[in-house]
Amino acid sequence: MQTAEPGTFPTTTAKGFNQIKSAEGNAGFYRGIKPLWGRQIPYTIVKFVAFEKIVAYFYANIFTKPKSEYSKAT
């Protein structure tokens, strides 16, 4: 809706939804999911692994007590 030339696509959500459904079927609502997952899944994996490595480094080198002696907020 935002990038369409004026007059080429409905300006309301309900009319736009109906136009997509009639032109492309239900698959039209999921056309962008593969590129999204292709970006989001690797990013999330790297973020999780990096976070865990950083936490392990902090407990090994910065904090002075064992992990079990700290509260949840630490």
Vertex 40: Cα angle to 30 and 22 (nearest 5) = 10
User: What's at 49, amino acid-wise?
Assistant: V
pLDDT at 30 over 60: yes
pLDDT digit string, tens, across residues 41-70: 999 999 999 999 999 999 889 888 877 888
pTM (2 decimals)? 0.57
Cβ atoms within 10 Å of 49's Cβ, excluding its own:
10
